[in-house]
Structure 1
Amino acid sequence: MTIDQEDTRIELIHADDEAKYVLRDAREILAIVRNLLGARALVSARLAPGNESVLSTLVAVAEDGTSLLLDGSADPLQNQRMERADALDCVTQLDKVRIQFLLRGQRLVEDGGSPGFRAPLPEALLRLQRREFYRLQTPISEGVSCTLALPRVDGSRREAELRILDISGGGVAIAVPPVGVHFEPGTEFPDSLLRLPDTAPISARLVVRNLFRITRRGGAEVLRAGCEFADLPRGAEDAIQRYILRAERTRNARERGRL
């Protein structure tokens, strides 16, 4: 089993429906943790702050449901670093759904002669289903982009061309620049132009639905704005689907060529 995107940290900044992604009810969190335990799911635990990651598993959940036990390392020095970390940023998968949570207050303990880390049940748990988050990732080489018409103070407009990170029939995820464009759930960008290879520019109204911060290994960050299509012209959805199918065929052929 592999953990998809285990080298990334994903943080929900804003969403029009936070409960869709983040669980805060202790009973619901406990149920998922127990399911992870039953599935013997691998856990990638990043030592925060920092970029060191350790591959581990859940060993047990306390009978009262207030704490869990994470498997330790055979390396005593690594266990010391894990115990001293401010938190263990854990990523795993359950039924192809990415699960992410922070463990704080971890203590090194002995469990049947093996080292482990006892920690309180996480206060929050992030869930990201593939169909909602990991859509078709657009190749950087193709330069798939979206041009937004942004209002100026004097009433005129300026154009901003932003990179599209991934795309589906229902919307796109845009890489938000550090300055110059304001994104939050509910923000609308009318008169936007979607630019796909070998396709005429597609006009659309984009509605921001969520905003995530993605931190990659090495510390590089990108803000990802999930936007929904609105008011697509006739034929636009078919053109988008054709691009997705063509890109998926190319990617599959490339992957088969590496086997």
Structure 2
Amino acid sequence: MSAGDHPLRLPGEHSPFWIRYPLDIRQQLRALAKQRERVLLWHGPEASIVSSVLAVGNQGDLLLDVGPDARTNERLLGQAEVLLTANLDGVDLQAPIGPLQRATHDGLPAFACAAPVRLHRLQRREFHRMSLPAGHKVRCTLPVGTPPQPVSVELIDLSLGGLCLVDPGWPGLLLHNGAVVHGCTLTLDALGEFTTELEVRHVETQTSRSGQVRHKVGCRFGRLTARAEQLLQRCITQLELDRRALSG
């Protein structure tokens, strides 16, 4: 089956939600296995079986549960490509895999296949905001003054579409609705950094019980390069995995 013929047609190559880094793909698949989440293996336009990820090897190779019907299992084994779909904590996952081969797991029949080379990971909300925990290593600097000097700002959350920061109240830095700040740099821990522009979309004023006032500024990224989108996707994936590990 070609994934392009499937009703859950895979998104285009330019979607920012593709994960192609092998370690990140393995982490997603191992989370499916650990949480024993149900996955679907599609072998026709409207034909699928319910399966699960039994094990993920060091290279990302998969062991998957077989279905109850022998003829359907044979049909899956005859496909050059199978579409795996799943939902992990409200996030839709899709990955083309295959071909499948016969295997065993704990003495029972199973499917085996090589690691998928790409996995599409899409939040139910188009741009899910990931709150940044204390001690995170995501940094944002804005240019301030003449000549401009990079100054760090406090970040509240991050998404593929933008971020939320705290207005530091520097003279000359006007963060009001519609303002565009050029030359902003985002450093994503050890993953790398990129420079973009930020467009202010909303400003929210908060007053604490002690009377302290702060302004939360929601910003949208300007047009990002493919590399920047990939770095953001990897960073958000890692933040979610770290959060899940702490809460589990």
| TM-score bin (small chain) | 0.3 to 0.5
Q: Which has the higher contact order (CA 8 A, sep 6+)?
A: 1
TM-score when normalising by structure 1: 0.44
TM-score when normalising by structure 2: 0.46
